[in-house]
Structure 1
Amino acid sequence: MATLYRNRVEAGQQLATTLTAYAQRQDTLILALPRGGVPVAYEVSKVLHVPLDIFIVRKLGVPGREELAMGAIATGDVRVLNAEVIRMLQIPGHVIEAVTAREQRELERREQLYRDGRPSVEVRHHNIILIDDGLATGATMRAAIRALRLQKPTSIIVAVPVAAPATCSELSTEADEIICANTPDPFFGVGWWYEDFSQTSDEDVHDLLARANHEQPSAALKP
């Protein structure tokens, strides 16, 4: 079975072709989900000439099976739990709380590291294009959408290069618009569709954000 993309750079370049309606719009911002969503979103930002920032979300992985999400947290004290996974694996409440506390610390660390002292952007009254490198369960993206709603954007557009068909369909009820460039079935997993799905480092995220801030400075910075 052939992959869809060589790497996240190519994925971002192709995803940008589905978002041309938002090119050079001053009422639009791109928010990437670190870490893997940042190189994808950076390429979209370059093509559309739209400012790029990040929105930190952390998956709550099942202990011992961390790739399986039992939920996610996002900036703004938002937590979304996957009730089906929790019920199926009979995960006790104290385990959920312990994982949440650990991931909250990591979320705060990344906020400080990635922004490098730059303030976050003003989401209110903007169209937000929310980008990740793919959607599997959708828990992380769902948490991001719900956290962003609290900041009253004009609209939330979810855009990803590849997604599980069912997840893409489910998230269409949460976002104002959803663009899943490819929805292969069977899905297998996000990494299956990339030739190079190597981990994006903290340094990569920091450098891409600094570069984007220089190339597309945002007029929507919070005071």
Structure 2
Amino acid sequence: MTRARAFPDRRAAGLHLGEQLRRHEWHDPLVLGLARGGVVVAHAVAEALDAPLDVAVARKIGAPGQPEFGVGAVTARGDATYDARTLRALRLRPADLRESCEAEQAEARRREQVYLHGREPRPRAGRDVVLVDDGLATGVTARAAAHAIREERPRSLVFAAPVCVPEAATGLKADVDEVMCLLAPDDLRAIGEWYQDFAQTSDDEVVELLGSEPE
């Protein structure tokens, strides 16, 4: 596959990913899509595995003055996860990012409430959980989500994405039981380069996809 031609869109990527994941043996599987774009991929994976779908929300914590440069991430509850090497390189401490962390955690709680529509998250304990995103770049949001999921004692936790930065995929293996990437190109610069259509996923689309799941 060539760059910008690998996947037509997130759903098509999810169908390819689902075919690979079907080769595993699963115990009471649950598919979690990392909001927002990961939910589209995860919806197709859940169909392939005949498994329920739910959402995982993690928010990137940006460097001071560079909000798009993620130095860590946080979920709706619990402590933030930081990239230690990045903090050292920028001479930052977690305390320096407390205000940003609190703001992102509040946004994570808000989005979770919107996506779940007042219901409780599907239970993770004792299940094989598949955490899905549309790509893995730095890995900070995936790590934060994985840490939060681990707190709920799943039987196993697998991270899966259509395309991954090799270094990030290797680093994430310490936080999950398995990392599955369809593509891990050494020259990956941006996840969107590997999709023909990488339009931003809306909150409404996430709600619709989650609402289409059977109880």
User: What is the TM-score with the length of structure 1 in the denominator?
Assistant: 0.89
Contact 1:32 / 1:130 at 8 angstroms: preserved in 2? yes
Q: Deviation string for 1:16-35 (max 9, x for gaps)?
A: 11110358x56110011100
More displaced 10-residue stretch of structure 1: 90-99 or 166-175? 90-99
CA gap 1:93/1:147 in 2 versus in 1, 3 angstroms: closer
Contact 1:78 / 1:146 at 8 angstroms: preserved in 2? no
Q: Which one-letter code corresponds to 1:16 in the other structure?
A: G
Contact 1:161 / 1:180 at 8 angstroms: preserved in 2? yes
Contact 1:11 / 1:161 at 8 angstroms: preserved in 2? yes
CA gap 1:101/1:66 in 2 versus in 1, 3 angstroms: same
Cross-structure match for 1:126: 127
Q: Which one-letter code corresponds to 1:80 in the other structure?
A: T
Question: Could you tell me how far 1:136 is from its partner in structure 2?
Answer: 0.6
Superposed, 1:1-223 pairs within 5 Å as 2-3=3-4, 4-21=6-23, 27-91=28-92, 95-211=96-212, 213-214=213-214, 217=215
Q: SS of the counterpart of 1:147? A: helix
Contact 1:22 / 1:28 at 8 angstroms: preserved in 2? no
Question: Could you tell me how far 1:134 is from its partner in structure 2?
Answer: 0.6
Q: SS of the counterpart of 1:31? A: strand
Q: Deviation string for 1:119-175 (max 9, x for gaps)?
A: 211110000000001101101111111111111110001110000011111212221
Partners of 2:49 and 2:16 in 1: how far apart? 12
Question: Could you tell me how far 1:38 is from its partner in structure 2?
Answer: 0.4
Q: SS of the counterpart of 1:181? A: strand
Contact 2:30 / 2:52 at 8 angstroms: preserved in 1? yes
Partners of 2:27 and 2:71 in 1: how far apart? 37
CA gap 1:14/1:205 in 2 versus in 1, 3 angstroms: same
Question: Could you tell me how far 1:5 is from its partner in structure 2?
Answer: 1.1
Q: SS of the counterpart of 1:120? A: coil
CA root-mean-square deviation: 1.7
Question: Could you tell me how far 1:89 is from its partner in structure 2?
Answer: 2.4
Identical-residue share of aligned pairs (%): 37
Contact 2:76 / 2:106 at 8 angstroms: preserved in 1? no
Partners of 2:149 and 2:3 in 1: how far apart? 35
User: Is there any run of 5+ residues in structure 1 with no aligned partner, and where?
Assistant: 218-223
User: Is there any run of 5+ residues in structure 2 with no aligned partner, and where?
Assistant: none
User: What is the TM-score with the length of structure 2 in the denominator?
Assistant: 0.93
More displaced 10-residue stretch of structure 1: 86-95 or 202-211? 86-95
CA gap 1:210/1:173 in 2 versus in 1, 3 angstroms: same
Q: SS of the counterpart of 1:121? A: coil
Q: SS of the counterpart of 2:72? A: strand
CA gap 1:143/1:93 in 2 versus in 1, 3 angstroms: closer
Partners of 2:78 and 2:174 in 1: how far apart? 22
Partners of 1:161 and 1:64 in 2: how far apart? 31
CA gap 1:70/1:206 in 2 versus in 1, 3 angstroms: same
